[in-house]
Amino acid sequence: MMKIGLNTNTFAGEPLAVLLPMAKDFGITYLELWGSNLAPNGAAPVNFYAFSDKDLQTAKRQIADAGLLVGSVSSGLGLDTKMTSDPEAFSRELVATVEAAAFFGAKVVNHYSDKIQPGTTPELGRLHDYFDAALKRAAELGITLALENEAGDASRTPENMLAIMQAFDSPFFKTNFDATNYYHASCEAFPYAYELLREHIAYVHIKNGRLYRPGGFCPDTKWFGGAMTMEPGTIYYCEAKDGVVNIDGLVHRLAADGYDGLCTLEPHTTRENAIAAIHGEVKYLRATGLFE
């Protein structure tokens, strides 16, 4: 059966002492762990999203004491212009993230190419410069790098993501399938993008959205998102059951195709809204009978 995960960066900067009881209250066992939620280890600071400058030993003990598990580790380095301006430093820190995943017992590292390839065409040689060292280490440790598709960079279309997957051509380099990010980029997320990429999917993010329309249909501007990438309008994020993307069809298809990994929740809204939404999302997903 599939597993429900919690993206700790939904509550960016909040410590594990706050997040772990929250995850238990949600009924979620698995974390997508971000460096942004970990305490420093006393070394020279590197980056909000880095793991090399964080206290991993204490975090591991806290998570184990709470009876929770790290299902995946997430690297936000690709979202940070300062990190992506230095390929060597970026590569070194992504290797450290892979090693952190091994330390926590996670088999997947979610990561981004956002500021590395901000255009509309994949920069394959550039991606190799940033990702190859981490991929080599991941293969040694049996960990999969899962590149998340983002609406604002060259991974925005399923065709572009497929080209990236084919360029790396490794069982340890796959994609994190975020259906709503494909919708945000004005692409058909399911079934088309899924069908195109299904053999390359190692991880899944769950959220939903629709076009923002002022008035009663989209009443809470705290769910308001960015501009749609390829068509007029703005995305309005919402719970999985309420949006344009066929999340129900997606999770049933994932299960039918044998996917038994994480489907991680990451509502894009305020803290208060996110807490309420995650309770609803867990109830909705568990009602399908497809999740632990």
CATH value at residue 58: 3.20.20.150
Distance separating alpha carbons of residues 155 and 142, to the nearest angstrom? 24
- Judge residue 172's burial from the number of C-beta atoms within 10 Å of its C-beta, 0-12 exposed, 13-18 middle, 19 or more buried: buried
- Write down the pLDDT at residue 216: 84
- Write down the pLDDT at residue 214: 85
Amino acid at 276: A
- Provide the token pair at 197: 């990429």
Please tell me the total count of domains within the chain. Answer: 1
Residue 138 belongs to some domain of the structure:
yes
Residue 54 belongs to some domain of the structure:
yes
DSSP 166-179: HHH--TTEEEEEEH
Per residue of the chain (292 residues), give pLDDT as tens. Answer: 999 999 999 999 999 999 999 999 999 999 999 999 999 999 999 999 999 999 999 999 999 999 999 999 999 999 999 999 999 999 999 999 999 999 999 999 999 999 999 999 999 999 999 999 999 999 999 999 999 999 999 999 999 999 999 999 999 999 999 999 999 999 999 999 999 999 999 999 999 999 999 888 899 999 999 999 888 899 999 999 999 999 999 999 999 999 999 999 999 999 999 999 999 999 999 999 999 9
CA-angle at 153, arms to 261 and 255, nearest 5°: 20
Cβ atoms within 10 Å of 206's Cβ, excluding its own? 26
- Write down the pLDDT at residue 215: 82
The answer to whether the beta carbons of residues 212 and 138 sit under 8 Å apart is no
Residue 291 belongs to some domain of the structure:
no
CA–CA distance from 35 to each of 8, 126, 277 (Å)?
A: 9, 24, 23
Give the global pTM: 0.97
Residue 292 belongs to some domain of the structure:
no
- Provide the token pair at 93: 């820190």
Residue 159 belongs to some domain of the structure:
yes
Residue 44 belongs to some domain of the structure:
yes
Residue 57 belongs to some domain of the structure:
yes
Sheet holding 208-211, edge to edge: 208-211, 234-238, 224-227
CA nearest neighbour of 91 among 53, 54, 121, 135: 135
Distance separating alpha carbons of residues 112 and 148, to the nearest angstrom? 6
Residue 145 belongs to some domain of the structure:
yes
Distance separating alpha carbons of residues 92 and 88, to the nearest angstrom? 6
The answer to whether the beta carbons of residues 228 and 182 sit under 8 Å apart is no
Domain boundaries, position 269: 3-207+247-286
